[in-house]
Chains A and B, each alone.
Chain A
Amino acid sequence: MSELWLAARLDLAESLRARWFAVYTLVFGGIVALLFLFGLTESRVLGFIGLSRLLVTYIQLCMAILPIFVLITTVRSVAGDREAGVYEYVLSLPVSLSAWYWGKLVGRYVAVFAPVALAMVAAVVVALVRGIPVPWGMFGYYTALLAAMAWCFLAIGMLISAVARSTDVAQGAAFLVWLVLLLLLDLILLGVMIKGQVRPETAVAIALANPLQVFRTAALTLFDPQLVVLGPSAWVILDTFGAAGYRIYGVVYPLLLGLAAAAIGYRTFSRGDLP
């Protein structure tokens, strides 16, 4: 078996044994269970009913929880392992640094994405059993969106772990990154625009560069194709991308951003001191 798959399997097995994974799985599985339990599929909001209503709510909750969950658990375990001396021993074995780093990324990706995706699959299965119509297009796109989001924040977490020399610093940095992205969703952008300190185009560009905002807007495009709730900024988005184009951007941009973060993380990891 190649070194990369060995490293991936090892990390996946480590994740499956970890407490964070149990909590993580419980949270996402629990969300779907609760949404069914509270009759969300029977309620109607903005014309949504059945599984589409559940999926819209689920992805909104995922956007709130998944990034910080993935960031913190990644930096805690990766930087924590290095601090505890795990790297000193494991990297004394004949494994290439690229296989170790990318293998770890692959294993961890499966661990963070599988529970989120399986919860959605479970929702679809329950819907099929109960005879609730399944919006396959929405299901497919939201799955792709969550896959891209999980990858993006996992890669950012790996980058932070590679740069930070201690668990505390890594955790603090991860929280700060998440907080900045969160504040840039609305608060800071609205604030600086109201004060007239940035041009509207700059604010829109910042929003388009913020993966959290990209996910939110991409998710909105499925049930609000004209992006009415965004106000005038929707014109920039729709004129530049179009509704379908933005949906593609919503998946491709986080994937590329994640790839860039992971690549910089690898470069930092492989050129620095390992333990």
Chain B
Amino acid sequence: MIRIEGLSKSFRRHRVLDGVNLAFAAGERVALIGSNGAGKTTLIRCLLGEYNHEGRVAIDGRSPRTDRRATLARVGFVPQLPPPLRMPVGQLVAFAASLCGTDPARIHAIAGRLGLDVTPILDRPFVRLSGGMKQKVLIAVALGRDVDVLILDEPAANLDPEARKTFFELLAERAERSTMLISSHRINEVATLVNRVVELDLGRVALDDRVADDVSLAGVLACRVSARRADPALAKALAAWKFRDLGGGVEWEGEVAGPDRLRFLGTLSRYVGIVTRMSIEEDGR
């Protein structure tokens, strides 16, 4: 699906990508990780046909640079930082839908599944939305059409746990037929989403490895947490995960999306002195 051969990119004398060779097949979910300056964003921009470069980049045999329309029509992209678009949400959705040949209603529907009702905000400038709302709109634009490749740059960073759960479900629905490239600074943010990890370091591929693919993207974990005593900070953290208080703030119950398990454990680790017992059961739904 994606073939990268001898990809190099320099900005003035600084070489950001240095002879990258990679190939991604349909159905692969790839974590693209690396520290700041490793070359992740540059690689993504080369894949989107936005940078000139040495070497060859092809998506489904076509160059995203010279054959933009046909190639990018099959690529969905969610940037890490939402662009400061002044246009209203309705205009953004209509513009993207027209270019991508999709029905705006599909984009609205995806946003709805993520917990964002687009109708009341159609006239609101995109730039005035909250971080989470912007992210949901961008995800809806990327997923509200038929794509073969999804390029996601820290896509779930601004989403609440409920929206993350839906987001993982949406990815699961496309997992079989799409190639997903998920960029992140840290592997633990995306580890449970992917079946392959590519690490970039100083513009070169430092690691390219398959990972166990046992975590279902659409899976749900039933969780129960017991605390030594009621604690407002723990209560707030668990409430953010939509956990239910079973009594006195010491017994909590809720559901966590399968791919979110590391993040949830990370949240819980901050209260390790208070938590006396916890259980996680797969297929909680």
Mark A residues whose CB is within 8 Å of B.
1, 3, 6, 10, 13-14, 17-18, 84-97, 271-275
Taking the closest CB of chain B, its distance from the CB of A150, in whole angstroms, is 23
State which of B69, B77, B84 has its C-beta within 8 Å of the C-beta of A85: B84
Report the bound CA distance from A1 to B94 in whole Å. 11
Taking the closest CB of chain A, its distance from the CB of B83, in whole angstroms, is 4
Q: Given A95-B69, A96-B68, A272-B52: A89 and B91 within 8 A (CB)?
A: no
B87 within 8 A of A: yes
Residues of A within 8 A of B51 (CB): 273-275
Interface pair A13/B79, CB less than 8 Å apart: no
Interface pair A89/B52, CB less than 8 Å apart: no
B75 within 8 A of A: yes
Report the bound CA distance from A273 to B45 in whole Å. 9
Interface pair B85/A89, CB less than 8 Å apart: yes
Residues of A within 8 A of B211 (CB): none
Interface pair A89/B99, CB less than 8 Å apart: no
Interface pair B69/A94, CB less than 8 Å apart: yes
Chain B residue at minimal CB-CB distance from A271: B52
Q: Given A6-B98, A84-B83, A85-B79: A91 and B50 within 8 A (CB)?
A: yes
B81 within 8 A of A: yes
Mark B residues whose CB is within 8 Å of A.
45, 48, 50-52, 68-73, 75, 77, 79, 81-87, 91, 95-96, 98-100, 125, 138, 151
Interface pair B73/A94, CB less than 8 Å apart: yes
**Could you show 6 A-B contacts with beta carbons less than 8 Å apart?**
A10-B91, A85-B81, A86-B84, A94-B70, A95-B72, A275-B50
Q: Given A92-B75, A94-B68, A94-B69: A274 and B50 within 8 A (CB)?
A: yes
Interface pair A84/B84, CB less than 8 Å apart: yes
Report the bound CA distance from A159 to B69 in whole Å. 24
Q: Given A89-B79, A274-B51: A14 and B86 within 8 A (CB)?
A: yes
Taking the closest CB of chain B, its distance from the CB of A193, in whole angstroms, is 42
Interface pair A13/B84, CB less than 8 Å apart: no
Q: Which of A1, A10, A97 has the most CB of B within 10 A?
A: A10
Taking the closest CB of chain A, its distance from the CB of B120, in whole angstroms, is 19
Q: Given A10-B91, A273-B51: A89 and B83 within 8 A (CB)?
A: yes
Chain A residue at minimal CB-CB distance from B74: A94
Residues of A within 8 A of B71 (CB): 94
Interface pair A88/B72, CB less than 8 Å apart: no
Residues of B within 8 A of A275 (CB): 45, 50-51
Residues of A within 8 A of B79 (CB): 85, 88-89, 92
Report the bound CA distance from A94 to B73 in whole Å. 5
Residues of A within 8 A of B85 (CB): 86, 89-90
Interface pair B69/A96, CB less than 8 Å apart: yes
Report the bound CA distance from A14 to B51 in whole Å. 26
Residues of A within 8 A of B151 (CB): 92
State which of A3, A13, A95 has its C-beta within 8 Å of the C-beta of B87: A13
Q: Given A3-B99, A275-B45: A92 and B87 within 8 A (CB)?
A: no
Q: Which of B52, B73, B99, B100 has the most CB of A within 10 A?
A: B99
Interface pair B100/A94, CB less than 8 Å apart: yes
State which of B84, B87, B91, B96 has its C-beta within 8 Å of the C-beta of A93: B96
Q: Given A89-B79, A97-B68: A14 and B87 within 8 A (CB)?
A: yes
Residues of B within 8 A of A272 (CB): 52
Chain B residue at minimal CB-CB distance from A10: B95
Residues of B within 8 A of A89 (CB): 77, 79, 82-83, 85, 138
Residues of A within 8 A of B52 (CB): 271-273
Report the bound CA distance from A275 to B48 in whole Å. 11
Interface pair A92/B48, CB less than 8 Å apart: yes
Report the bound CA distance from A94 to B91 in whole Å. 16
Residues of A within 8 A of B72 (CB): 92-95
Chain A residue at minimal CB-CB distance from B76: A92
Report the bound CA distance from A271 to B51 in whole Å. 9
Interface pair B68/A1, CB less than 8 Å apart: no
Report the bound CA distance from A266 to B83 in whole Å. 23
Residues of A within 8 A of B83 (CB): 84-86, 88-90
Chain B residue at minimal CB-CB distance from A2: B98
Report the bound CA distance from A32 to B54 in whole Å. 55
Interface pair A93/B99, CB less than 8 Å apart: yes
Taking the closest CB of chain A, its distance from the CB of B104, in whole angstroms, is 13
Taking the closest CB of chain B, its distance from the CB of A274, in whole angstroms, is 4
Q: A84-B83, A84-B84 provided; 9 other pairs, C-beta below 8 A?
A: A13-B91, A17-B86, A17-B87, A86-B83, A92-B48, A94-B68, A95-B72, A273-B50, A273-B52
Report the bound CA distance from A10 to B97 in whole Å. 13
Report the bound CA distance from A92 to B181 in whole Å. 15
Chain B residue at minimal CB-CB distance from A11: B87
Chain B residue at minimal CB-CB distance from A272: B52
Report the bound CA distance from A10 to B71 in whole Å. 22
Report the bound CA distance from A88 to B82 in whole Å. 10
Q: Given A14-B86, A84-B84, A273-B50: A92 and B77 within 8 A (CB)?
A: yes
Report the bound CA distance from A89 to B84 in whole Å. 10
